[in-house]
Amino acid sequence: MNIKMDLSEIILYLDLMKKEDKRPLLNELKMMLYFLEDYQQVKEFYNKLKEPKLNIQFKFLAYSLIHFIEEREECIKLKQHILSKSKRKYYSLFIHEILLCKSQEEAMNIIDEAKQYGIELGEIWASRYDSMWRIKNDQKAWKEGIEHDQAELFPEMYEEFCEMKAKYFENLPLEHLKQNLLKEQTNGLNNRKVGKVSVFPRSVHVKEFAKRVSKGICQLCDEKAPFVDKQGNPFLEVHHIKYLSEKGTDTIDNVVALCPNCHRKIHLLELDQDFKKIKKKALKNMEF
Ligand SMILES: [Zn+2]
Ligand SMILES: [Zn+2]
């Protein structure tokens, strides 16, 4: 599969659906869940889904989502929410809580609680508390199942997102895009200081800014982009001047748009003269 969505694209996808009064389909939500990389991202995704306007039916998504919850408190909240909405027997909600709890005694209590809902888990589960490795295995198995059954739907859903995204950015003046990003940069910093989760993953917007100011011209070799993408936009890749892995920031003063050749070259050769050139370009981008 040659598509990949990052969290910022997923959040944007949900926002655009919200704007168009569309409710994401279960398969679309599963695709998003599939692409998340760690529990932090799961939490941000889950928080987003709780927005009332999205109208998410958690009782259907719960079978999938539950495997990715890594905190007992969150697990209990999801479980209670589901049980209040549906009379079905959700074995996995209780089993997952056992895997997260810390003692045999707690596990026994969960087994008893399940009985009240007509769910017989069996005593064997009493010893399976505190099993993060089982949770990781379940996550892996879920992803493999998705690859087997649903991954062929992903390109189609992804393309729909690309069209929505292109339309959205087409109607968003560059000046607004820049203002949003600069505003968010300050908010983001303040949020980090107080330990809040960022609510506006920037990446997709930062990339759009870099592509837009480059006007389809590679910012290293100054040549036109080699081809246009399916939406008719010049194909350039966004490069972080100071790498994110080296604590570079995902901000508009740290990115340039490059043709695929130059992008390869920059990473392979890491030439000082190239570095200086793109650094200058990035500063000039900011003057736009
Ligand atoms: Zn180039
Ligand atoms: Zn790069």
Radius of gyration of the chain (CA): 23
Query: How sure is the predictor about 190, in pLDDT bands with cuts at 50, 70 and 90?
Result: low
Tell me which ligand sits closest to the C-alpha of residue 214. 1
Please give the model's pTM, rounded to 2 decimal places: 0.86
Q: For residue 50, is pLDDT > 90? A: yes
Looking at all shown ligands, the one closest to residue 260's CA atom is 1
Q: What does the alpha-carbon distance between residue 279 and residue 288 come to, in Å, rounded to a whole number? A: 15
CA distance 256 to 283: 10
**Ligand 1 centroid distance, CA of 282 (Å):** 15
Sequence-ordered strand ranges (E) for the chain? 237-240, 255-258
Query: Contact at 8 Å (CB) between 49 and 76?
Result: no
pLDDT of residue 103: 97
Eight-state DSSP code of residue 72: H
SS3 20: coil
Q: Chain centroid to CA 38: how far?
A: 9
Torsion of CA 184, 186, 192, 195, to 10 degrees: -90
Alpha carbons 154 and 27: distance in angstroms, whole number: 9
Other CB atoms within a 10 A radius of the CB of residue 22 amount to 14
Report the candidate in 219, 224, 216 with the shortest Cα–Cα distance to residue 240: 219
Is the model's pLDDT at 177 over the cut of 60?
A: yes
What pLDDT does 192 receive? 52
Mean pLDDT of 205-220: 96
Separation of CA 201 and ligand 2 centre (Å):
19
CA of residue 226 to ligand 1 center, whole Å: 9
Distance (angstroms) between ligand 1 centre and the Cα of 218 equals: 5
Distance (angstroms) between ligand 2 centre and the Cα of 274 equals 13
Ligand number nearest CA of 220 is 1
Among the ranges given (7-11, 235-239, 243-247), the one the predictor scored with the smallest mean pLDDT: 243-247
Mean pLDDT of 66-71: 97
CATH of the domain spanning 181-286, picked from 3.40.50, 1.10.30, 1.10.3470, 1.10.150 = 1.10.30
- pLDDT for 168 equals 95
Q: Which long-range contacts (CB under 8 A, 24 or more apart) does 143-148 make?
A: 143/34, 146/30, 146/34, 147/1
Mean model confidence pLDDT for the chain: 92
Residue ranges covered by each domain of the chain:
7-154, 181-286
Q: Report which DSSP code applies to 128.
A: -
Q: 273 alpha carbon to ligand 1 midpoint, in Å?
A: 14
What's the count of helices (H) and strands (E) in the chain, helices before strands?
A: 13, 2
Looking at residue 112, what is its pLDDT? 96
Give the span between the Cα atoms of 184 and 200, in whole angstroms: 7
CB 206 within 8 A of CB 250: yes
Nearest ligand, CA 256: 2
pLDDT in tens, 106-142: 999 999 999 999 999 999 999 999 999 999 999 999 9
